[in-house]
Structure 1
Amino acid sequence: MVKSAQETAERAGALETRGIEPVPAAERSGHPMQLFWVWFAANISILGLPLGATLVAVQHLAFWQAVLVAVIGAAGSFAIVGVVSIAGRRGGAPGLTLSRAVFGVRGNFGPTAVSLISRLGWETVNTTTAAFAFLSLCAILFGTDAGAKASPVLTIIGVALFVLLTVTVSGLGHAVLVAVQRWSTWIFGALNIVVGISLVTRIHWDKVFAASPAPAGAMIAGIGTIAAGTGIGWANASADMSRYQSPAVRAGSLIASAAAGAGIPLVLLISLGSLISADDPSLASAGDPVAAIRELLPGWMAVPYLIAAFGGLLLSNHLSVYSAGLTTLTLGIRIKRVYAVVVDIVVTFLGSLYFMLVADGFYGPFIAFISLLAVPITAWVGVFLVDMIRRRSYDPGALMDMRRTSAYWYRAGCEPRALFAWAVAIVAGYLFTTAGTGKDVWFSGPFAQTWLGVNGVGWVVTFVVGAGVYAALGGARSTR
């Protein structure tokens, strides 16, 4: 088969010039192992450790229970990511662009805007956390102050370095991103293994094995916590990567590549985090998890650990920023894809500097804010998956046509059933949601203190309501 000019250029590492327009079938030759490495790299961050720590410190699970919960919650939620990626293989377009077929070319604005804000939020978290790791590394190597406000020049350098490394890969596009994610996984994976072995050698095993098992309800809640903190947040970005997959790729292979690719590193890191917390529960409540883990390591491990933390966050940010650029274009902003990436990265650059150099606090209120955005994203996943039950193809021209002539114009550019189901699911989800902790609670739904709310599985309600309402309205009975 003769390769297209676009594919040849991409294989050579050239700039990806395609935006959100569907990739022609003749130009799609990707295979599932590419996605395996993409998802593996995006989830290799050492910050998976605090997530595992919460299973023991908050849910009070025994170590073996935490491992089982990690397998079901992480691999299971990324299986959902794999299912959504099937739409990318079918339509050859990014997830939120394909979403126009579900919500209408105008009605899709709401889900797209929410997704973009959430992406920018998590990218700001990644950038800020990586900059703190950079400051700690400089403090060890050069004796500088590790505080952001005490070292403003170093803070700017740290943020700029992380942003530059991110935009270089995300800006060049799909082929470069796939290659970098694959080979970087070996480097930072090896560093994580060294760090993990060092942490394991310091465990007091008598404390680990002395823990009593928690009831089954706590395990169910733990599965919900892990799923919400891992795969669910990536579901609306999965088609962004799978749009270059060959039409001949089997759906099961796409699901397996996501579940295994993300599941392997997440299960190992979450299990290690739960093991550490069984010995020392302070990790789960640490305001700065990077520093908290650093304190558990011997002095000689500080440098490789901080490099691993910085690199893991970078690999996650590559994928997030690439997806954010496509989401920006889906809003209707008419610029080239690489410029959309630059715009998004400038926002996270300025946001990170503000929170590090100006604001007094960051993690608590900011994560509470973007956690609120997880509810409408989960509602979108529910509606989108139901639509996939019968839909086997997408109209490439209609996806790009924002006028009345589009086959996805529906009523005034909106699909009422999808938007209604999405809105109802959001309301249902917020009934069980609490944003913030302690005295800094921003929002608490009327059912937030029920078992579902307290255990953080209100997102399940959101998903079920969104999918159920849309199906009941007939959303699954027509391919439109």
Structure 2
Amino acid sequence: MNNENVKVLDKDKTLTPSKLFYNWFAANVGIMGFVFGAMIVAYHLSFGQAIFASLIGGLSFLVPGWVAMIGQREGVTTFKLSRATYGTHGNKIPNAIAWFNMVGWLAVNVITGTMLLIAMYDVINVPKNGLTKAIALAVFGGLVLFSGLLTEAALGKIQTWISYIFGALTVVILIFFLMKANWQVALSRPSGSWLSGVLPAISIVAAGSGISWSMAAADWGAYVRPGTRPSHTFWSTTLGGAIPLFLLMAGGVLLSTIKPGLATASDPFGMMYSALPSWFGVIYFLVAAGGLIPQCIVSLRSARINLATIGIRISQPVSLTLHGAIVILIPVYVLFISGNFLGSFEIFLSFLGICLASWVAIFLCDSAMFRMNGYDVALMAPSSRVHYNWGGIISWGIATLTGFLFTNNAVWSGPFARGIFRNNSLGVFVAAIVAIICMFIVKMITNRIGVSEAQS
């Protein structure tokens, strides 16, 4: 058994808490935060409720913080850790979910970049029609594909500088929203339902942020310097992701007082652009679009690697063709057929959130219930004899199915998606709760089997 095949070498553990904080901060300083703010307002909440939902939704990064601590403690990345939870073959389930997560967010970023370019057409007096939208998609998609020729180091430097510039411009935007916001309208909004309004708003934000990012948290935690306090890893991860997300979502809530139709707009970026001075909007949107390109390239490469971990090995040209086709066809549907970015985005987050919420709940329960004394390296090695951990696999299947039964949207209607579960994302919470219950049952069965074997 060669432990180095599983564990990260000490010489490679170079991340400090400050670097970890910046990595998470940079990854979440993005224009999508404003969109999440608009989605929260769509649940018909008062200003106080919307800010509360933004805060709690941002604090969903407590989950990646916990996962990162496990990664640091074991010195093992996420999908190697999850082999203990699901078995080496059963682990293909989270691998497949991760691939779907990467490709889905890649498509969202391509759509976002395209819409940012389209939003600036008014400045150069270009009409917004099917042809000009196709040109914007071709330009942004082409930049993503051609940027694939850059090295990881070059992409990292570009992303770093764009993060600094975008972060500074975002502070200016937030000040602008604070000054221009219609505070009378904001503070006079009637309160919505806490059960069918606030909770679903929190769940949809959590699905697209903390829960989604949990699949990568141990990948960074495993590279934290030896001797670093686990609490520092936890808070650097949690606050690094939560702070920028909360501020941007609060900005989206304020923007909705300037542009009341933002929450239901088919083109939220165009409406956002119209709320800004045109000269500033051009700079801001160009930087925002540029910041998406390195993220898209990294996602493309990660998606190929993830397919390899599932057992699907393809060459780089085939991978580029496959994923390129997917991330072009999805934007074509959203931009030219559906025409509703926010609606399609919510459907994506709803389905993804259910799968990921059940996965991370089972992963954390397995860690707390069965791995308190550490993970057995033999269970995480490719040569492990435990191919299927049926407790984790069955729990995930039951929790995910239950979540779908309590969910409805434009393409799916679960039989129990009625009453407070109608037209919202509470199925995400249902999936997580059922996953936890299932793991407690697995623990009780395991304990009884252990007692029976000891007595015999």
Band the TM-score falls in, shorter-chain normalisation: 0.7 to 0.9
The match for 1:360 is: 337
One-letter code aligned to 1:185: S
Aligned to 2:29: 44
Paired residue for 1:429?
A: 403
Structure 1 residue identity aligned to 2:83: R
2:380 is equivalent to residue 399 of structure 1: yes
- Structure 1 residues 369 and 381, CA gap change in structure 2 (3 angstroms): same
RMSD: 3.1
Q: Report the Cα offset of residue 370 of structure 1.
A: 5.8
Deviation at 1:91, TM superposition (A): 3.6
The alpha carbon displacement at 1:461 in A equals: 1.4
1:112 to 90, 95, 99: 95
What number of residue pairs does the alignment pair up? 437
| Pick aligned residue for 2:188 from 201, 210, 213 | 210
Structure 2 unaligned segments of length 5 or more: list them. 448-456
Separation (CA, whole Å) in 1 of partners of 2:188 and 2:90: 54
SS at 1:447 equivalent: coil
Q: Distance in 2 between matches of 1:280 and 1:142?
A: 23
Q: Which residue of 1 aligns with 2:452?
A: none
What TM-score do you get using the length of structure 1 for normalisation?
0.81
Shift of 1:446: 1.6
CA-CA distance at 1:87 after TM superposition = 2.8
Question: What is the CA deviation profile of residues 160-211 of structure 1, one whole-angstrom value per residue up to 9, with x for unaligned ones?
Answer: 213444x467x62xx7776655443211101222333333333222222322
Deviation at 1:295, TM superposition (A): 1.9
Unaligned 5+ runs, structure 1: 1-18, 436-440
1:60-459 to structure 2, matched below 5 A, reads 60-62=45-47, 64-74=48-58, 76-137=59-120, 139=121, 143-147=125-129, 149-150=131-132, 152=134, 155-165=137-147, 167=148, 172=152, 181-214=159-192, 216-217=194-195, 218-314=197-293, 316-317=295-296, 320-321=299-300, 323-333=302-312, 346-356=321-331, 360-361=337-338, 363=341, 364-365=343-344, 368-369=347-348, 371-389=350-368, 390-391=370-371, 392-396=373-377, 399-401=380-382, 406-407=383-384, 409-410=385-386, 413-435=387-409, 441-459=410-428
Instruction: Work out whether residues 73 and 230 of structure 2, in 8 Å CA contact, stay in contact via their aligned partners in 1.
Output: no
**Contact (CA 8 Å) 1:148, 1:357: kept in 2 or not?**
no
Kept in 2, the 8 Å contact 1:191–1:308? The answer is: no
Q: Once the two structures are superposed, what CA deviation does each residue of 1:344-402 show, in whole Å capped at 9, x if it has no partner?
A: 5544432333345576236445762563233222111011001211425445565342x
CA distance in 2, matches of 1:89, 1:267: 26
Shift of 1:420: 0.9
Deviation at 1:333, TM superposition (A): 4.1
- Provide closer, same or farther for how the CA distance between residues 373 and 221 of structure 1 changes in structure 2, counting only shifts above 3 A: closer
Q: Provide the identity percentage.
A: 30
Instruction: Quote how far apart the aligned CAs of 1:248 are.
Output: 2.4
Deviations 1:438-473 (A, max 9, x none): xxx211112212324544222111112112212321
Deviations 1:43-83 (A, max 9, x none): 11122112212333323222x33222212221x21010111
TM-score by length of 2: 0.84
Note the C-alpha offset of 1:275: 1.5
> 2:82, 2:91 within 8 Å by CA — same for their partners in 1?
yes
Q: Which structure shows the bigger proportion of residues in helix conformation?
A: 2
Counterpart check, 1:53 vs 2:38? yes
Q: Assess if the C-alpha contact under 8 Å between 2:408 and 2:424 holds in 1.
A: no
State the Cα deviation string for residues 280-331 of structure 1 (Å, max 9, x = none). Answer: 3210111122112112223222312312431443465466456535423321
Q: Structure 1 residues 325, 348: closer, same or farther in 2, change over 3 A?
A: closer
In 1, Cα distance between the equivalents of 2:438 and 2:354? 16
Instruction: Kindly indicate whether residue 9 of structure 2 is the aligned counterpart of residue 28 of structure 1.
Output: no
Question: In structure 2, what is the Cα distance between the partners aligned to 1:50 and 1:152?
Answer: 23
Provide the residue aligned with 1:9 in structure 2: none
**Contact residue 21 and residue 396 of structure 1 kept, 8 A:** yes
